Every structure is written in structure tokens, then in C-alpha cells.
């Protein structure tokens, strides 16, 4: 009797051991099957920033697909005019110099890729834009900065920049907004951003769609082509001492985020300009020149 009991106990132990082994194997297999899709989902997912959270803060490992694209810039500051009938200005060149220092010391603009035109003539502006038409590639980014006089012709509804050789009574050397739009179509950059601190700067907008979707991820904004502009005012005059440029440059100099979209930049100083001047700055897309909903991204140097 005892011998049979011992045999039964041995059989029971062997049977129990086999079942336990199957359970352990099954659990391990299920873990492998369940974790693999989670890992793939994490690798393929495009993160989306939540409202009120800067995307660069929410994902410190974000790397934009810049694919070797360069950052080019054309900066124009005009203080002095050949025609005595056009009043000179005190601050545009100094403002452009401060902007130049901010983007070349803190962001991915190499000095050799930035052209700075002081008291630029009409021919110098056109020649420089022709140069960028030839060298800018589809992966590159292009920024145009203008500080100087601007004019709005209410009869023809055309806006102009006034180069240094402009004459009050002749539009021969007035740089038309329509000409600028033609260049923006011709320059095949990934992103082009226009920053204009001039009277009647808002005339560059065919429509004023202020603010795109603020919750859209930086990565998506970079992938889509854009043609954006920010200006110091609408169809009004703006003062020579520019609150717009003061706060714009301050935000660029004090920004801590690696990736900063032009919309985020504008949003960070818009109310400061309104509260400290009579100007209402604008931000939006420039229509009919190739904007597809993306945005210009300022990238801090390592």
C-alpha cells in the first residue's frame, strides 16, 4: 500500500511540474508578443504637443529632419535717403545689427550665409534677391528682415518699401510688395520668413490668418513648406523707435528652447508690443507664394 502511494505521489509531482513549465513558457511568450507592438508604436508615433506645452520641452530627444539644409538670411536696414524730401530714420540699421547678432550667435545662421545691406539701393536689393534665387535649395530656409520706410498707395492698394535711392515723386525705385511676392515664389526654400518693421507693413498680407494651430507638433511644422510674415503694424504708421523689434530681439536673445517656431516667437512678444506702443503687430501666411501650413523654425546652436 505504501509503495503504491509513493508511486502515485511521484506521478503527481511529475504531472504538476510539466503544467507549471507550460504556464511559465506561455507567460514569457505572451510578454514578447505584447511588448513588441508597444515598442514599434513608440518608434513610429509622431508626438503632438498639447496646448500650453512647448513641444521642445515635452520631447527633449526631438531631432528635426533638416537633411543638411542651410539657414540663409537677407537683412536690410535703411536710415538715410538720397531724396531730402524723404525723412531719414535713426534706428533701422542699429535694429538690423542687433537682429544679426542674435541670429548668428544663438541660432543656426552662419555669418557667411547672411547678407546685411545698410542703406540699400533698389538695385542692391534686387541683385541680392537674384543671388538667393540661384543658390537656395529646396531643403534650405530663408529669412528676410526689413527695417526702413514703407508706403501704402490707397488708390492702387499696393504697398512699397523705400530703398535708399527712392524719390518721393517717382516710383521707379520703390520696391513693390508684388515684386517681393514674385521673389518668394521663385526662391524654392523649404521655409521663408519675412520680418518687416516698416509703416504699412501689414499690406504684405493678402489675408490675415493670425495664428495657425498652436497644438501642431514642431516636427510637422518643419516638414510642411511655409511662407510666413510678421510685421510691426497693419496699414498704419509705426514709430522710428520700434517696440516691435525691441521685444522681438529680446525674445530671441533670451529663448531657452532648442526649437522655436516663428508663431511661438511672435506670440511671446505680441502683447508686449501692443501694451507698450500704438502698433498692432501681425503674423500670418503670405498667400499665393507656396505656403502649405508649415512654419519657420529657429534652432539654437549646440
Q: How far is CA 208 from CA 27, 164, 168, 281, in A?
A: 59, 29, 29, 11
Q: Mean pLDDT, the chain, as a whole number?
A: 76
State the pLDDT at residue 12.
55
Condensed to tens digits (0 to 9), the pLDDT of residues 193-203 reads: 999 987 544 44
Task: Tell me if 93 is assigned to some domain.
Answer: yes
> Under DSSP, is residue 190 helix (H, G, I), strand (E, B) or coil?
coil
Task: Tell me if 289 is assigned to some domain.
Answer: yes
CATH number of domain containing 201: 3.40.50.1460
Name residues whose C-beta falls within 8 Å of residue 236's C-beta, 6 or more positions apart in sequence: 199, 200, 202, 278, 279, 280
Residue 241 pLDDT grade (very low, low, confident, very high; cuts 50, 70, 90): low
Task: Tell me if 19 is assigned to some domain.
Answer: no
State the pLDDT at residue 213.
40
Please give the tally of structural domains in the chain: 1
Task: Tell me if 13 is assigned to some domain.
Answer: no
State the pLDDT at residue 38.
34
State the pLDDT at residue 31.
28
Mean pLDDT across the stretch 239-262?
Answer: 87
Mean pLDDT across the stretch 250-263?
Answer: 94
Alpha carbons within 13 angstroms on the beta-carbon side of residue 185 total: 9
The answer to whether residue 16 scores a pLDDT higher than 60 is no
State the pLDDT at residue 234.
52
Residue 32 pLDDT grade (very low, low, confident, very high; cuts 50, 70, 90): very low
Task: Tell me if 126 is assigned to some domain.
Answer: yes
> Residue 144: which domain range?
71-299
Whole-number Å distance between alpha carbons of 207 and 229? 11
CB of 277 closer than 8 Å to CB of 243: yes
Condensed to tens digits (0 to 9), the pLDDT of residues 268-302 reads: 999 998 898 887 888 888 878 888 888 999 999 98
Task: Tell me if 50 is assigned to some domain.
Answer: no
Task: Tell me if 233 is assigned to some domain.
Answer: yes
* 275 phi, psi to nearest 5 deg: -75, -15
Helix (H) or strand (E) segment spanning residue 178: helix 177-186
Name residues whose C-beta falls within 8 Å of residue 208's C-beta, 6 or more positions apart in sequence: 202, 282, 284
Task: Tell me if 196 is assigned to some domain.
Answer: yes
State the pLDDT at residue 128.
97
Amino acid at each position: 500500500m505504501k509503495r503504491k502511494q509513493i508511486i502515485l505521489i511521484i506521478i503527481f509531482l511529475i504531472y504538476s511540474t510539466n503544467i507549471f513549465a507550460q504556464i511559465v513558457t506561455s507567460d514569457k511568450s505572451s510578454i514578447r508578443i505584447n511588448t513588441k507592438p508597444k515598442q514599434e508604436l513608440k518608434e513610429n508615433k509622431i508626438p503632438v504637443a498639447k496646448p500650453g506645452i512647448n513641444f521642445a520641452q515635452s520631447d527633449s530627444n526631438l531631432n528635426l529632419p533638416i537633411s543638411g539644409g542651410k539657414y540663409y538670411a537677407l537683412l536690410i536696414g535703411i536710415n538715410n535717403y538720397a531724396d531730402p524730401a524723404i525723412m531719414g530714420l535713426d534706428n533701422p540699421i542699429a535694429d538690423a545689427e542687433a537682429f544679426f547678432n542674435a541670429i548668428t550667435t544663438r541660432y543656426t545662421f552662419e555669418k557667411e550665409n547672411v547678407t546685411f545691406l545698410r542703406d540699400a539701393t533698389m538695385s542692391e536689393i534686387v541683385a541680392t534677391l537674384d543671388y538667393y534665387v540661384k543658390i537656395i535649395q529646396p531643403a534650405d530656409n530663408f529669412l528676410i528682415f526689413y527695417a526702413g520706410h514703407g508706403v501704402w498707395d490707397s488708390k492702387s492698394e499696393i504697398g512699397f518699401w523705400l530703398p535708399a535711392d527712392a524719390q518721393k515723386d517717382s516710383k521707379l525705385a520703390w520696391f513693390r510688395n508684388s515684386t517681393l511676392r514674385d521673389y518668394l515664389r521663385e526662391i524654392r526654400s523649404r521655409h521663408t520668413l519675412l520680418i518687416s518693421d516698416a509703416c504699412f507693413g501689414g499690406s504684405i498680407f493678402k489675408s490675415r490668418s493670425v495664428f495657425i494651430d498652436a497644438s501642431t507638433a514642431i516636427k510637422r511644422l518643419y516638414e510642411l513648406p511655409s511662407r510666413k510674415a510678421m510685421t510691426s503694424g497693419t496699414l498704419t504708421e509705426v514709430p522710428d523707435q520700434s517696440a516691435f523689434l525691441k521685444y522681438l530681439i529680446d525674445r530671441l536673445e533670451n529663448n531657452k528652447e532648442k526649437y522655436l517656431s516663428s508663431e511661438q516667437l511672435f506670440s511671446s512678444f505680441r502683447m508686449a508690443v501692443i501694451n507698450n506702443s500704438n502698433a498692432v503687430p501681425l503674423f500670418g501666411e503670405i498667400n499665393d507664394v507656396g505656403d502649405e501650413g508649415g512654419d519657420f523654425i529657429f534652432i539654437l546652436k549646440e
